[in-house]
């Protein structure tokens, strides 16, 4: 069973525009993480937000977390063609030890 | 350089054969994970291990087996009981502990049944 589900499944934007991806989850969590995957490669960690945090920034990335709605969003500002990738949220649920559960991902295409 | 290494990058299996995928990390991480990824899909957890000599089934463990005899190594065997093994397999590790579970991933092994 997948804890997290991303929305939209696919997103296509022009370079310079902002990209917003959403993640919803089902059970209470310790933290939520966002990862990026280039085609055919492993995942790279982008940002971790703890359950007691509401917003976090890292460069052009902004992550929000709403535990009351069990949802998170990832905003990439001023997108570049190099941001083209799949983006996944992952949760570390309170009742699942250290098990990380991933959503289905959002496939982002940034057109030059 | 510290990191997590998967081998081989590509693997071909004949029907009825068992194959073993290697995953090694030198990050001194306690927790290790195996995920399966099908084309255009997310990651599904096969097995995970929080400590040496202990491992737990994930969501799709049937047809797979693992061992964790050393902290650095978490090999995955795809057995003949796995009827549809063609997929991209990803290994990951993390420090463990509920406050710090950023995972580091290998570059993956693409398994194809021929």
Strands (E), chain A: 5-7, 10-14, 19-24, 29-37, 43-50, 55-58, 61-66, 71-76, 85-93, 100-102, 106-111
| Cβ pair B105:A44 closer than 8 A | yes
B100, pLDDT greater than 90: no
| Cβ pair A42:B90 closer than 8 A | yes
A72 min Cα distance to partner chain B (Å) = 17
Per-residue CA distances from A8 to A37, A77, A92, A104 (Å): 16, 17, 22, 10
B52, pLDDT greater than 60: yes
Res A58: pLDDT: 95
Residue A1 pLDDT grade (very low, low, confident, very high; cuts 50, 70, 90): very low
| Cβ pair B40:A44 closer than 8 A | no
pLDDT in tens, B55-87: 999 999 999 999 999 999 999 999 988 889 999
Res B110: pLDDT: 96
pLDDT in tens, A92-106: 876 656 678 888 899
């Amino acid at each position: 069973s997948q804890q997290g589900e991303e929305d939209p499944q696919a997103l296509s934007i022009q370079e310079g525009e902002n990209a917003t991806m959403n993640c919803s989850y089902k059970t209470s969590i310790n933290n939520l993480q966002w990862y990026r995957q280039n085609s055919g490669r492993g995942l790279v960690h982008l940002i971790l937000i703890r359950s007691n945090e509401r917003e976090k920034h890292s460069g052009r990335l902004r992550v929000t977390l709403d535990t009351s709605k069990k949802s998170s969003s990832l905003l990439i500002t001023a997108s570049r063609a190099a941001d083209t990738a799949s983006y996944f949220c992952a949760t570390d649920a309170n009742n699942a030890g250290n098990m990380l559960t991933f959503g289905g991902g959002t496939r982002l295409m940034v057109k030059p | 350089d510290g990191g997590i290494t998967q081998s081989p990058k590509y693997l071909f299996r004949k029907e009825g054969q068992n194959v073993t995928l290697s995953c090694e990390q030198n990050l001194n991480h306690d927790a290790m994970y195996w995920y399966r990824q099908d084309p255009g899909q997310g990651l599904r957890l096969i097995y995970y291990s929080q400590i040496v000599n202990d491992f737990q089934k994930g969501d799709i463990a049937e047809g797979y087996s693992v061992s964790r005899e050393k902290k650095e190594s978490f090999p995955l065997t795809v057995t003949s009981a796995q009827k549809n093994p063609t997929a991209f397999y990803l290994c990951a590790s993390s420090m463990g502990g509920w406050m710090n579970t950023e995972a580091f991933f290998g570059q993956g092994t693409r398994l194809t049944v021929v």
